[in-house]
Each structure stands twice: as C-alpha cells, then as structure tokens.
Amino acid sequence: MEALTTLLTEYSFPAIIIIIFLLLVAFKFVSDLIEWLYNKAKGFFKKQTDEEKKEEKLEGYFKDTNDHFEKINKRFDDTDEQILEIRKFQENTAERLKFIEERQQENTRSFLIDAHHKFCYEYKAIDDINLQSVERRYSYYKHAGGDTFIDSLIEDIRELPKVNLDHPLISAEEEEGIEDVGIS
C-alpha cells in the first residue's frame, strides 16, 4: 500500500495515465511477439507445403471417388442379381402359361367332342344358342392351333337340324307347318 501512496504523491495524474498506457502497450507488444514466435515455431516443427496440402486433398477426393465407385459396383451387382431373378420368374411364368394354354386347348377339344356326341347322337338336333357357343369355342380352338380332327365333328354339328327354343326338338320347317295348321 505504501508503494501506491508514493506513486500518487510523486507523479501527477496525467503521468500515471501515461505510465498505465505504456504498460498496456508494452503488454500488447509482448503478447503479439509471443504469438508470432509461437506461429514461427509451429511452422518450423510442423511444416506443410502447399503441394503437400494439395496431395492430401487429392488423396481425399480419390478415396471418396473409390468409395462412390464401390457403392455403384454394389448396386450393379444387386441389379444383375435382380435381373437374373426376373428372368427365372419370366421363364417359370412362360412355362406355366404354356401349360395353361395346353390345358385350355385340351378342355376346349373335350368340350367340342362332348358337344358333338351330345347333339349328334343324343338329341340329333341343335338350337341356335348352343350352335353359337360351339362355333365360338371352335374358333378359339382353331386360333390356338387345334387339329383337323375337330373340323369334321363341327361340320356334323352344323348339318344337324335346327331346334326352336319355344318348341324343343322341332325344326324351324316343322314349326312353320304347325303354325299353318293353326297350332301355336
């Protein structure tokens, strides 16, 4: 405390302010000097040139690019596997579709044979609705590549007498004769 009282008695107020200002400037200069020396020492011990920094940057880009290409290659491999699975599914579906078509063709063939036997041997006549149904199935059968055996059966069905639904098993000619007699 004595030093402070001596300082205040020996120096004037503006001189004290100047001393404090000079001490602050000196402190600032010393701290800047220490910082500059620190940076120089740091640069000396851990020196990296611009080329080394560029090389490190390029190595980083190269590593990122390799990682990206590895991801793309994995996607291509996954896509190839998916394509193979799709091809297997497509082949399986094609085989099943071929089997279904063969079964459908066989069912249509059986229907036409049954219709021939039913109308030619049992009823010995056919009505228009059943004839249209047989003709439609026959056209599907032929379109799918059916054999010629069925052709002769269809010709037999076409040659059968036509039956009117109002008077079963009576042909259209017989129906006209019935109307002439006055029976309706």
Q: What is the pLDDT along the chain (184 residues), one digit of tens a residue?
A: 787 788 778 878 888 888 888 989 999 999 999 999 888 877 766 666 666 777 888 888 888 888 888 898 888 888 888 999 999 999 999 999 888 888 888 888 888 888 888 888 888 888 888 888 888 888 888 888 777 778 888 888 888 888 876 655 544 444 444 343 333 3
Give the pLDDT of residue 172. 45
> How many C-beta neighbours within 10 Å does residue 158 have?
12
Question: What's the token pair of residue 55?
Answer: 């090389």
Give the pLDDT of residue 106. 86
Question: What's the token pair of residue 97?
Answer: 């579709």
The half-sphere exposure of 179 on its side-chain side, counting CA atoms within 13 A, is: 9
- State phi, psi for 57 to the nearest 5 degrees: -65, -45
Residue 8 domain-assigned (yes or no): no
* Contact between residue 143 and residue 108 where contact means Cβ atoms under 8 Å apart: no
Residue 112 domain-assigned (yes or no): yes
Question: If you search the block for the tokens 């394509």, which residue do you land on?
Answer: 83
Give the pLDDT of residue 30. 93
Range 30-33 contact pairs with CB under 8 angstroms and sequence separation of 24 or more: none
Residue 104 domain-assigned (yes or no): yes
CA 183 to chain centre: 70
Residue 33 domain-assigned (yes or no): no
Give the pLDDT of residue 170. 43
* Contact between residue 156 and residue 120 where contact means Cβ atoms under 8 Å apart: yes
Cβ within 8 Å of residue 140, ≥6 positions away: 108
Residue 24 domain-assigned (yes or no): no
Question: What's the token pair of residue 118?
Answer: 């039913």
The C-alpha atoms of residue 176 and residue 162 are separated, in whole angstroms, by 13
Residue 26 domain-assigned (yes or no): no
When divided into structural domains, the chain yields a total of 1
Give the pLDDT of residue 90. 92
Q: Which domain holds residue 138?
A: 83-181
Residue 144 domain-assigned (yes or no): yes
Residue 2 domain-assigned (yes or no): no
Question: If you search the block for the tokens 């020396």, which residue do you land on?
Answer: 37
* Contact between residue 138 and residue 150 where contact means Cβ atoms under 8 Å apart: yes
CA 22 to chain centre: 78
